Structure formats: structure tokens, C-alpha cells
Structure 1
Amino acid sequence: MKCLDQQCELRVQLLQDLQDFFRKKAEIEMDYSRNLEKLAERFLAKTRSTKDQQFKKDQNVLSPVNCWNLLLNQSKEVGQQLQDDLMKVLNELYSVMKTYHMYNADSISAQSKLKEAE
């Protein structure tokens, strides 16, 4: 019985370590995506404020400005996608941890009832 308790505690600790790891990873990736989005917005705002709008309309499809805008928009999309994926994984992890803790509490309760019955 003591061996099972130790094994259970080790698994709980492992899950908590994984949860801490993913939480810190999420914070880093969240900061990265926010900074990437800010960078893209800053440069998009700069190109939007161009005084010569007619020149901008007449540019070729493969002009450097259009390529730059495409790169900025894609960077913003990547940042948003990373953030969405991260939130999905964190929500799944939270759900699994919640279920595990519920089952662990039930197990501890059953073990204590078994000890009382003996």
C-alpha cells in the first residue's frame, strides 16, 4: 500500500512538473506572439501612413513593399496561430489534470475506507 502511495505521489509530481513546464512555455510563446504582432502592427501602420497612396496603388504585384506587407501579415498570422495552438494545449492539459486529481482523490478516499474496513 505504501508503495502505491509513493508511486501515486511520484506521478502527481511528474504531472505538476509537466504542468509547470507547459505553463512557462506558454508564457514564453504568448510573449513571442504578442511581440511579433506588435512588430507587424508597427510596420503595417508605417506603410499605411504613406502619403503617396497613388504610388502605392500603381506598384507592381512583386514590389518590395507588397512583399514586405505579405511578410508582416504572415508573421502576424503565425503569432496568432501559435497563441491559439498553445491555448488549446493548455486547456487540454488543464482538463486532464482536473480529471486526474478527481480520480486521485477518489482513490485516496477508497484507500482510507479500505484501511478503516480492515
Structure 2
Amino acid sequence: EEAQRIPSFLILAVESPIYFANSTYLQERILRWIREEEEWIKANNESTLKCVILDMTAVTAIDTSGIELLVELRKMLERRSLQLVLTNPAGNVTEKLHQSNALESFGTQGLYLTEAEAVADISSTWTYQA
């Protein structure tokens, strides 16, 4: 089933732990999805992509490499004027992110319980021009 598109957002579900063995692949895949979405937006005259949401529901574990991936990905996207947001990480994943101080780099709009909450809160801060 095709996921519903939300203008200016790309929501990606991470379906595995994020650790040394898959962090490079995961980064490449996420960047490819973003590139494909930006191409689709351009081809269909849609709203510019502003925010990438990573649904972390299925991420049962994360190691130092995985944390570094998220921090580096956030920096890469920020340079492209894109915001990276994490939603619904497991308790142990959130704890590791806090212990590493990685969440501090995401700011107050970096972690949400649900995609709907993230979309509502983030989009409320955007100004639209008619």
C-alpha cells in the first residue's frame, strides 16, 4: 500500500537495529530515499522537502556507530536546509542517545513520540506564503 504523502515531509521507517555492520548502508539508503523524494517533488511541482522523519519504532538497539550515523546525518541534512527528526525510539535507544549527548544536537524539535505529533508541531512553526 502506498503511504500517504505529507507535503514537505518524508517519513522513513528504520526496520532494524542501527549498529556498526549496517550504519554505512543505512546512511546511503536514507540519502537515496531523500534524493528520490526531491526528484519526485520537482517532477510533480509539489511543496519543497523540509523535514525527514525517521520512525525508530522497530529499532531495538543502537551502538556508537549508529549514534554517530544519526548525528552526522543530521548535520548533512542541516547543510541542505532539511530537518531530521526521530520518532518513537525504544527506551534503551533513547537512553543511549541521551548518554551520548546526541539528542542535544537535535534541539527541542528532534524527538517525538509519534509522526503525527512531529508533523503537527514542526509544521506549526513554518510560515507559508500565499
Same fold (TM over 0.5): no
- Structure of greater Rg: 1
TM-score when normalising by structure 1: 0.26
More helix by share: 1
